[in-house]
Structure 1
Amino acid sequence: MKVDLHIHTNISDSDYSIEETIRIAKENKLKYIGIVNHDTVKGLKEAIEIGKKKEVCIIPGIEISAYDFKRNKKVHILGYNFNLKAENIKALCNPIIERRNINSIRQINILRKNNYDISIEEVQDKAKFSTCIYKQHIMAVLMDKGYCSEIYSNLYCKLFKNGGICSGDIEYVDAFKAVEAIKNDEGKAILAHPGQLDSYEIMDELWKRGLDGIELYHEDHSAEDLIKILEYSVNHSVILTGGSDFHGTYSENHSCIGNITVPVNFVSQLL
């Protein structure tokens, strides 16, 4: 049985709907998938019902945009199988969504002032199913206008990275509070792709505060990352997860659902 525990939909920064995403999972012979949209639990009940009809078991999840304030690093925290009321998760994450949307509108206005042919209405149309506007939605409009041929292009780096005119990120939430919110909503808290964000230093501190597991399999993890995480799991008895980190055509690594899978016994630990 194939399992992919890291999948996004157009509720956040993919361009594939929940139904399209589950259809692809079914076509790719996946039995279990974890839907982990950024900073929101919106659409999870719908996903579970569609999954039942398609015979794909949906594990409800979230990926929280968190931060290690001690080391000044981003730290993403995955949550799985929590109470769908998710009162603690919502209270923590709703302000992130608001800040992201405000920042995205700021970026669109900067582009307009710098003579880019783009409007807030065009970007909002790209993001009409999402909880807020993401950079991917902005870049999708710029692609449509012929400024670039793909989202993660030289233009993306020029605009959003290294002091570009649209650079400047939002304030994320404390990683310890992210773990706490997931645990308080009866879920499993997992450190997402520590190899990608180099978040190994905070791992032990998070584990002492209730972290349940670590994402092992990810597109950006090297053989060295796998060894490091496996060694940690043996010494600390943590849950292991993994997946494709699918974002539809907005995927930076062009991954597809099921490109990266995990053993089915990983699911039983989450449930």
Structure 2
Amino acid sequence: MKADLHVHSNYSDGSDSIKKVMQRARENGVTQISFVDHDTVDGLNEAFELGQKYGMEVVPGVEISAYDFRRNRKVHILGYHYRTDAPHIKKLCQPLLERRHAHSLWQVEQIQAAGYALNKDKIIETAKPSQTVYKQHIMKHLSSPPYPSTAYQQLYKGLFKGNGVASGDIEYVDAFEAVRVISADGGIAVVAHPGQLDSYEIIPELIDVGLKGIERNHHDHTEEDHQKVELLAKRYNLMLTGGTDYHGSFGKSIDVGDILSHTIL
């Protein structure tokens, strides 16, 4: 079996539909897949239906935008195999989605005020089926060069980072609460790409509230990250997962199944 347990669709900040992602996955020999769209489980039923059609196992997934308030840094928490109605996950994430959407629309206004021609209604339409606008949806209306290009990255950083007119971020949810709600819904909580966000220190602290795993295989992880993850997993008896963190044209040049999980869930 081949498992890619970290893919995104257009239910959050991925460019591709679930159908298109699963077609690519099937072509690349992936047999188990998990859509971990940010803070939403809205695409789960569609993924289940297409999984039956393509003969692929779909693992319920989500990536919660969480925060380590003690160390003042982001921590993304993946959730797998939760109950499909996911009441606790939805209750925690819905205000987060609303904050993100409102912030994105504020960013549109700031960029418009800086002299860029943007149509808010068209951006909202572009985002569908996601009910939340992300920076990637705004950038689609600003840049024809692709995400990996120098032109795209310069514009993105100039607008959204540092002193950019649309810089700033929303308040994320507490990482401990993210792990708790995934566990409350019967799921498996996993710290996502700790090497990318430097999330290592909080991992032992999350054990007591139900953390079950760490993402090892990720395109931003170095060999040093692999060693750190493996050491922590061995010390605290945690499972190892992984995947491509696929976002289609809204992310790095990588295809579904290029990076596989250590674990079949």
TM interval, short-chain normalised: over 0.9
SS at 2:141 equivalent: helix
* 2:257 counterpart residue number: 258
Contact 2:145 2:152 in 1 (8 A): no
Task: Calculate the TM-score normalised by the size of structure 1.
Answer: 0.94
SS at 1:92 equivalent: helix
SS at 1:212 equivalent: strand
* 1:81 counterpart residue number: 81
Structure 1 Cα separation of the partners of residues 9 and 151 of structure 2: 17
Alpha-carbon deviation of 1:51? 0.6
Contact 2:4 2:261 in 1 (8 A): yes
Q: Identity percentage over the alignment?
A: 47
Q: Where do residues 169-208 of structure 1 align in structure 2 (5 Å cutoff)?
A: 169-208=169-208
Unaligned residue ranges in structure 2 (runs of 5+):
none
Q: Which amino acid aligns with 1:125?
A: E
Contact 2:204 2:236 in 1 (8 A): no
Q: How many residues in Structure 1 have an aligned counterpart in Structure 2?
A: 264
Q: Where do residues 222-261 of structure 1 align in structure 2 (5 Å cutoff)?
A: 222-251=222-251, 253-261=252-260
Q: Which amino acid aligns with 1:64?
A: I
Q: 1:152 to 1:209 in 2, by over 3 A?
A: farther
Range with bigger deviation, 2-11 or 230-239 = 230-239
* 2:156 counterpart residue number: 156
Contact 1:182 1:188 in 2 (8 A): yes
Structure 1 Cα separation of the partners of residues 248 and 150 of structure 2: 13
Structure 2 Cα separation of the partners of residues 16 and 151 of structure 1: 22
* 2:209 counterpart residue number: 209
* 1:117 counterpart residue number: 117
Contact 2:33 2:58 in 1 (8 A): yes
Structure 1 Cα separation of the partners of residues 104 and 216 of structure 2: 31
Unaligned residue ranges in structure 1 (runs of 5+):
none
Q: 1:21 to 1:150 in 2, by over 3 A?
A: farther
Provide runs of 4+ in structure 1 moved above 4 Å: 148-152
Alpha-carbon deviation of 1:262? 2.4
* 2:131 counterpart residue number: 131
* 1:141 counterpart residue number: 141
Alpha-carbon deviation of 1:128? 1.8
Alpha-carbon deviation of 1:131? 2.5
1:86-127 deviation digits (Å, cap 9, x = unpaired): 000000000011000000000101111111011102211210
SS at 2:105 equivalent: helix
Contact 2:75 2:197 in 1 (8 A): yes
Q: Where do residues 88-99 of structure 1 align in structure 2 (5 Å cutoff)?
A: 88-99=88-99
Q: 1:232 to 1:149 in 2, by over 3 A?
A: closer
Contact 1:40 1:90 in 2 (8 A): yes
Alpha-carbon deviation of 1:232? 1.2
Contact 2:145 2:151 in 1 (8 A): no
* 2:14 counterpart residue number: 14
RMSD: 1.6
Structure 2 Cα separation of the partners of residues 24 and 164 of structure 1: 36
Alpha-carbon deviation of 1:151? 8.1
Structure 1 Cα separation of the partners of residues 34 and 151 of structure 2: 25
Alpha-carbon deviation of 1:42? 0.4
Q: Which amino acid aligns with 1:262?
A: S
SS at 2:240 equivalent: strand
Task: Calculate the TM-score normalised by the size of structure 2.
Answer: 0.96
